[in-house]
Amino acid sequence: MDCAIDLRAASEPRLLLLANVENAAELRSILLSTSGEARRLEGIALVKAALLPPDLMQVRVAARKAQAASRAGKMTTRTVSAELVYNLSSTKNIRESLEKFGVGDGDKYVRRCFIL
Considering the four listed CATH numbers 3.30.2380.10, 3.30.460.10, 3.40.50.280, 3.40.630.10, the one that applies to the domain covering 14-114 is 3.30.2380.10
Cα 6 from chain centroid?
A: 19
pLDDT at 101: 92
Domain ranges of the chain: 14-114
Q: Mention every residue, 6+ apart, whose C-beta is less than 8 A from residue 79.
A: 42
pLDDT at 2: 47
Return the amino acid letter for 19: A
pLDDT at 68: 92
Residues 19-55 have pLDDT tens digits of 899 988 888 887 777 666 656 667 788 899 888 887 7
User: How wide is the angle at C-alpha 11 spanned by C-alphas 5 and 15, nearest 5°?
Assistant: 105
The span from the CA of 104 to the CA of 107, in Å, is 5
pLDDT at 1 > cutoff 50? no
User: Dihedrals φ, ψ of 33, to 5°?
Assistant: -80, 170
pLDDT at 10: 54
Of residues 53 and 71, the one with the higher pLDDT is: 71
